[in-house]
Amino acid sequence: MASCLETISVPHLPSLPVHVALYRDVQNAAFLKGQLLAGNSEFEYALIDASMLLSRAHATAAVFRAVNDYMHNRLKSRNVHSEIVFSFNSTNNIAESFRRFGIADSTKDLLVVKVSVSPEITHESVAAHLCATVQGTSVPFDDQTLAEVHDVNKIKRVYKLGALPSPPKATDLSNGTNDELRQRLENALLAAIALRGS
């Protein structure tokens, strides 16, 4: 199961590798959320409801924003992992960002992100811990998988992009027009993440 934990070296941030894993059919979301709320440091992850993720680029943008702010001592929330969840939001309301993007009791599809902010955090340590604690099916973290789990209308709503034409449900990713619409929506999300708090 842990074989799908991916370790990304985000361009421009080589000193802070980022570990990501995408799960489907998660059975113990309430437990994971509980650990987070209890402040259990073993469970210091960014736990994101994958239905809110348009694409890999969408998620990477939020991670980049949070890690860059972390590097420059500008965190608005408790740590870099909570900051990742916050970074998805287009407004400065931290509690709201967790309601919108964070794990909920009902979350079935989950993205887990962990940044190697200290040397003990390695691919192996994260893989082992996730393997032992997340009850779900590990799947590849790619656009195709995200397209199966995300809720485009909900994403558009929280980013206040209702006026944008929706790309039709991505059954056929090869269609040119759909591609263009999806790209436009994605670009609008990236811009919203970049400009938050300005």
Partner 1 sequence: MEDYKPPDLPSPFNNTTPPPTLLTQGAEAHLYKTTSLNPSNPAALKIRPSKPYRHPILDRRLTRQRILQEARCLAKLVREGVSVPALLALDWEGHGGEEGGWGGAWLMMEWIEGDVVRVVLEKWEAWMKNNQASLDESQIEREEAQVRGLLKKMGAAIGALHKAGVVHGDLTTSNLMLRPFAGADGAGAESVSTEGDVVLIDFGLASQSAQDEDRAVDLYVLERAIGSTHPRSEPLFDELLLGYRESYKGAPSALKRLEDVRMRGRKRSMLG
CB of 82 to partner 1, least distance (A): 20
- 92-151 residues in contact with partner 1 (CB under 8 A) are none
Stretch that binds partner 1, among 62-70, 112-120, 123-131, 166-174 (CB under 8 A): 62-70
72 binding partner 1? (CB under 8 A): yes
- The reply to whether 75 sits near partner 1 by the rule CB under 8 A is no
Phi, psi for residue 161 in degrees, rounded to 5: -115, 30
Helix ranges (DSSP H) in 3-139: 29-37, 56-71, 80-87, 94-101, 123-133
141-170 binders of partner 1 (CB under 8 A): 161, 163-164
Please select the residue that binds partner 1; options are 7, 60, 116, 178, rule is CB under 8 A: 60
Q: How far does Cα 79 stand from its chain's mean position? A: 15
Q: Does residue 191 bind partner 1 (CB under 8 A)?
A: yes
Orientation of helix 80-87 relative to helix 94-101, angle to 10°: 80
The amino acid present at 18, given as its one-letter code, is V
Binding window for partner 1 (CB under 8 A); candidates: 27-35, 57-65, 113-121, 125-133:
57-65
Work out how close the CB of 124 gets to partner 1 at its nearest, in angstroms, rounded to a whole number.
23
Strands 46-49 and 6-8: unpaired
* DSSP symbols for 137-153: EEE--SHHHHHHH--HH
Element (H, E) at 114: strand 110-115
Binding segment toward partner 1, per CB under 8 A, in 42-50, 69-77, 96-104, 113-121: 69-77
Query: Residue 18, interface with partner 1 (CB under 8 A)?
Result: no
- The two beta strands, 6-8 and 18-24, are antiparallel
147's tokens = 């397209």
Give the tokens for residue 172: 């056929």
Q: Is 61 in the site for partner 1 (CB under 8 A)?
A: yes
Our CB check for partner 1 shows the closer of 38 and 195 to be: 195
Binding site for partner 1 (CB under 8 A): 9-15, 56-57, 60-61, 64-65, 68, 71-72, 74, 161, 163-164, 184, 187-188, 190-192, 194-195, 198
